[in-house]
Amino acid sequence: MHDKHIVVGVTGGIAAYKACALVSKLTQKGAQVKVVMTSHAAEFVKPLTFQALSRQPVYTDTFDEKDPEKIAHIDVADWADIVILAPATANILGKLANGIGDDMLSTVLLATQADVYIAPAMNVHMYAHPAVMANMKTLEERGCNFIEPGAGYLACGYVGKGRLEEPESIIETIERHQAAEQNLYGKTVLITAGPTREAVDPVRFFSNRSSGKMGFRLAETAAQRGAKVILICGPVALSIQHKNIERIDVTTAEEMYEAVHKRFEEADIVIKAAAVADYRPKNILEQKLKKQPGDFQVEMERTKDILMSLGERKQDQYIVGFAAETNDPLENGKDKLKRKNLDAIVVNDVTETGAGFQGDTNKAIFINKLLQEEHMPLTSKQEMANHILSLVVRDLEEAAM
């Protein structure tokens, strides 16, 4: 935490008093801390308390511009290396999940590209409410890190999960997370994600069921581990926000081929998670095809094999491929690994429950070029992204020995 710029966001719950200890301990560790409070938080703890503990100005009002040369909520958002929301109420979770910025804290959260850690605290039934759970899931998918509340006696009189984690534990968790996830610092990771679309006419196209979720989770995790990430993605309904991620949007297999090859030499690691079309219509109609009697045939031609071309061209890059299979996944995966000159391949049987496209979970086998197999059981795509990158780091470290 030493010399880190940390923004502590405090919201209006009784657990706001614990934020005082959190700010104090962060300051003692050598961090520079700025506190941003909601108006409701100020009903529990006065801003002067946090000012004394942090020795920094405390922010409570979006329109209270302390320096006329800067926009306060943007300046604070850019300043931060880490943002900690403690306590995080159901209200702030709903705002952040839905992109609402109506006060100083919510606008800072929307503007920052720092790592965000959220420590919820609320009534046990509020914490378990489907809307709150859905908001937390949305935020986790966008790369926020949650520090789960403890269970015990709550201020409302209930006993259960919802008590803000202790300040020492919050700091410990963040330090462990930050230390573990800086093992890609100085590396450039190129990741492809999502499907491609191959036009038939101005309104129709061939595509596949890929959502891009696995690739986006990999991009977020690599960025959190300190890597510079180049994310090249097909048409997806996903957003991503991290200061270490450069996003490049493409549509067709040819566009993805060009974009990948343009940036390939910059990369230390390439993870090819996109589901690229193997075939495209040979002739694209300039006008919309009208319904006609009888059948209609589309002549298809092969697209360029991006992964094969990278395997042929690679020098020191570590290349990971993905193989979505419906039969003989291990055999087909090992064949693809060898034939395309890869360093590793992630193989999954998309016919298995929870392991197909579009879902939030996955189940796969990681195989490296030494044919070492790591079976990854059914888990969230976020957890799988962590597991895959840890295996890549392991291989790189062993190769360097």
Residue 177 has pLDDT above 90, yes or no: no
* Radius of gyration of the CA atoms of the chain, in A: 24
Is 156 an annotated catalytic residue?
A: yes
**Residue 3 pLDDT:** 85
pLDDT tens digits along 277-297: 999 999 999 999 998 898 989
Domains in the chain: ranges and CATH = 5-180 (3.40.50.1950), 188-400 (3.40.50.10300)
pLDDT-based confidence at residue 157 (cuts at 50, 70, 90)? low
Residue 71 has pLDDT above 90, yes or no: no
Which of 46-50, 179-183, 327-331, 355-359 ranks highest by mean pLDDT? 46-50
Check residues 173 and 352 and name the one with the higher pLDDT.
173
- Across 132-148, average pLDDT: 89
398: which residues sit within 8 A by CB, 6+ positions away? Answer: none
- Of the candidates 20, 144, 156, 233, the residue annotated as catalytic is 156
Residue with tokens 């804290």: 105
Q: pTM (2 decimals)?
A: 0.67
Among residues of the chain, what percentage have pLDDT more than 70?
A: 97
206: which residues sit within 8 A by CB, 6+ positions away? Answer: 197, 198, 200, 277, 279, 280, 281
pLDDT-based confidence at residue 160 (cuts at 50, 70, 90)? low
Angstrom distance (rounded) from CA 340 to CA 331:
14
Angstrom distance (rounded) from CA 27 to CA 288:
64
Residue 140 has pLDDT above 90, yes or no: no
CB burial of residue 186 (10 Å; 0-12, 13-18, 19+): exposed
Angstrom distance (rounded) from CA 280 to CA 82:
45
